[in-house]
Amino acid sequence: MKIKSYFQFTNEQRRGVLSLLLLIVIIQLSYFYWSSSKSTSPSNSNKSWLAMQSVIDSLKISQSSSEGKIYPFNPNFITDYKGYQLGMSLTEINKLFEFRKQNKYVNSALEFQQVTGVSDSLLLAISPYFKFPDWVNQPKKAFSSFDKNTYENKKSIIRKDINEATQDDLIKIYGIGPALSERILKQKDVLGGFVTMEQMESIWGLSPEVIENLNKYFQVTTIPTVNKIDINNLSVKELAKFPYFNYTIAKEIVTYRSMNNGIHSIEDLTKIKGMPNEKIKIIALYLEF
């Protein structure tokens, strides 16, 4: 009788139990609906990541498509890493470096192979991307037979002052195109003018043949008023901008002048480590001691 009494409820108790069960069902249904709606609608942070996914995918595609792509380059200035990327061996790269140390340049794919010793298959793969200076690709003019008239024409050539030359004047010289003519004029502007035709040898891209042609038609008639630099007061950064110096030489200049109470003559310049002494007389004309 006692056990049975535990399972007997009054009407009020039954209504309470039913209400409790109904409340539990409502809570379960509410939780199920809330969790499902949360999983289907992403949060603001998730929306941001989803928006970025398309950008990430496009970058991956762009990166994969650019892998292995070779851009035109001058083979004379291949670095260790560039040579490795192209498939050159260390021996082949070193052969090119030794050749360049002699201040020589390769001017064709065949000459590149002769210097480095690369295989025919590698040369065939990389040579279409070789880019040489303009004057290398210009066909050489055939020499006409010597006659008296030609000799007389050469005698009548009037050389123009290089400091008064325009771009049109320079382009008329065989071997000089727009790029080289702009380089010559830019060097002249930086220096304030050329003091000797020997300075043409310091302009990158001018071959000995082109320099010879320049000397036929141009000269330095009068020494211009050049842009002199104050070697005793300029900073390393400012000195390094001078075409005949670089950052290393500029540091040596500052070190020397601080230890010797300044630089006062060409003789002092020759004592500076790294100074290009073969050009010292030209350099001195642009300095203010």
> With bands split at pLDDT 50, 70 and 90, how would you rate the model's confidence at 153?
low
Name the segment(s) of the chain with CATH classification 1.10.150.280. Answer: 229-288
- 74-96 residue pLDDT tens: 888 888 888 888 889 989 988 98
Query: Domain 157-219: which topology?
Result: DNA polymerase; domain 1 (1.10.150)
**CATH for the 229-288 domain, from 3.30.300.90, 1.10.150.280, 3.30.530.20, 3.40.50.1820:** 1.10.150.280
Which stretch of 10-14, 38-42, 78-82 has the lowest confidence by average pLDDT?
Answer: 38-42
> With bands split at pLDDT 50, 70 and 90, how would you rate the model's confidence at 245?
very high
DSSP sequence for 52-108: HHHHHHHHHHHHHHHTT----B-GGG--HHHHHHHT--HHHHHHHHHHHHTT----S
